[in-house]
Amino acid sequence: MTIFVRISAALGLAIAVSVSGASAQNYPARPVKIIVPFAPGGPADIFARQLGQYLSESLKQSFVIEDRPGAGSILGTEAVARSAPDGYTLLAMSNTHTTNESLIPNKPFVLMRDFVAVAPINYSDLLMVVPPSLPVKDLKEFVALAKSKLGQLNYASSGPGTPYHMAGELFKAMSGTDIVHVPYKGSGEARNAVIGGHVDMMMDAITTMAANARAGQVRALGTTGAKRSSVMPDVPTIAEAGVPGYEATIWLGLMAPAATPKPIIDKLNAEVVKIISRSDLQKIWAEQGAVSMIMDPAEFDKYLRADIAKWAHVVEVSGAKVE
């Protein structure tokens, strides 16, 4: 009886592996949905659409992008967590998700329990901008103004836990200023608010805000990377302009519901790596200020766990809260 049970279990495992391999070999057999839990027009939406187009071409199946914003990315993310783990519903995510693990602990999902890492996409610096009407020419003058008006200046973000929010909170903590966070429903609304002079500052992705700065719609005070951006080389980093050690970026990636078969995850990762390794795409991204991130699923899993720990520390030190 024991031998029979062992044989049955072995056969069951062999059949499961065979079915999983077959499903990965034929995957995708129908359209794949990539849910973007952020508002249209932001980096996640833009780059997910680019990636989806390339995946559609390489895998000969439609990859449909669906924007489902709300509650600081939680609504769209929960929808993916509740989806069947079959590779046909994917999540376009960012460091908003790793931040929210500590910033918003009472969520209907736990990132590293309910999802599996597929692949990172790219990262880019943020650009700190103010409206031209604000009477400051550089970062030091902005810090001086903020310190003279504690709690009177404000900054925009696309919502709690987003890279724009956390970059702002990190800046406050490291510069010794008290600037009020004004969350918007999406980066487009926040961008329009600072361009229109309705808020005093914003940390925005350089891939989307650089054009506005060049057009004179906003004044760039600094970039958030460790070194100057090739997109705006005349703009100093925040670290060199007056807040030593400051660094923050926005990065994007793909995840899938937990229990998605590993062969499908591996196939998706291989396709994404092929796409973001293309020299023509890397050239286009470099001109926008984005850099490819190439990792296998295990490496991306490790990266996500480290980022969760990093932002948990920032949340604790900065005292950041969800308004």
* Assigned token pair, 73: 């990315």
Listed by start position, the domains of the chain span 30-123+250-318, 125-241
* Cα→Cα distances 108→70, 80, 300, Å: 14, 11, 23
> CA torsion 27→257→125→196, rounded to 10°?
110
What is the CATH class of 125-241? alpha beta
- Residues 132-179 have pLDDT tens digits of 999 999 999 999 999 999 999 999 998 888 999 999 999 999 999 999
Return the CATH superfamily for domain 30-123+250-318. Answer: Bordetella uptake gene, domain 1 (3.40.190.150)
Q: What is the pLDDT of residue 7?
A: 53
> CA torsion 207→210→211→215, rounded to 10°?
170
* CATH fold match for the domains 30-123+250-318 and 125-241: yes
- For residue 28, say if its preceding peptide bond is cis, omega within 30 degrees of 0: yes
- Residues 8-41 have pLDDT tens digits of 555 555 544 544 554 678 999 999 999 999 989 8
41 — alpha (psi -120 to 50), left (phi > 0) or beta? Answer: left
Residue with tokens 């591996």: 266
- Residues 127-139 have pLDDT tens digits of 999 999 999 999 9
